[in-house]
Each structure stands twice: as structure tokens, then as C-alpha cells.
Amino acid sequence: MYDKKKYMVKPSHGEAIITTDAMYGSIEQLVIEPKSKDTIWSVSVYDKDDDIIYHLHDYEGILNDRDGIPVGKDKAEALKFCFYELTSNEPIKVLINVKEK
């Protein structure tokens, strides 16, 4: 079974932080879509223990990652997405497709 999550991020001063709903399983698809396709951005994704589970630096445009990022070691947990070094303060859409265990 898949659980699809969708978030809108509104950056300010080249930065933004969002916390997701609790999830458990594997992120089978992560889409990060800035409004402007030429926006350069960086992101770090943290688990509940503040360990980085995903990181990209100076990425340009839309990301469509299908690497299968594990989330929730023993139970559902929220993730924190920290965007920084954004070249635009326009909204960013984050889509997460989680395959539940």
C-alpha cells in the first residue's frame, strides 16, 4: 500500500523548513518542484533523532528521486525538510510517495 503526501513550502530569505506528517516504510518517490525551473536549491532531510537521511546541494530545477529512502525505524515518524541557499523565494512543491511496511 502506498501513502501519498503533498506539501507546499514558502521560502523566506532563501530558506524554508517543513515538518511532514508521521510516516513509516520507504520513500519510493520524492519530488521537489520549485515554481521556477531554474531555481537552484539545497536540502537536508532529518529524522526524529536529527540524523541526516537525505541531502542534496546546489540542485537546479525539479528533482524526481526514486532511490527508496527508509523512514521510521520502529514506528511512524515525521521528517524535517530544511531548504537553504535558494536562489528564489517562490513556492516549492514537495511530493512524497511512501510504500508502507
Give the amino acid at 20: T
Domain segments of the chain: what residues?
2-99
Residue 1 is predicted with a pLDDT of 86
C-alpha cell at 76: 511512524
Give the amino acid at 23: M
Task: Report pLDDT digits (tens) over 18-70.
Answer: 999 999 999 999 999 999 999 999 999 999 999 999 999 999 999 999 989 99
Q: How many helices (H) and strands (E) does the chain have?
A: 0, 9
Helix (H, G, I), strand (E, B) or coil at 63: strand
Would you tell me which CATH number, out of the four given (2.60.120.380, 3.40.50.970, 2.60.120.10, 1.10.3210.10), belongs to the domain 2-99? 2.60.120.380
Confidence of residue 9 (pLDDT cuts 50, 70, 90): very high
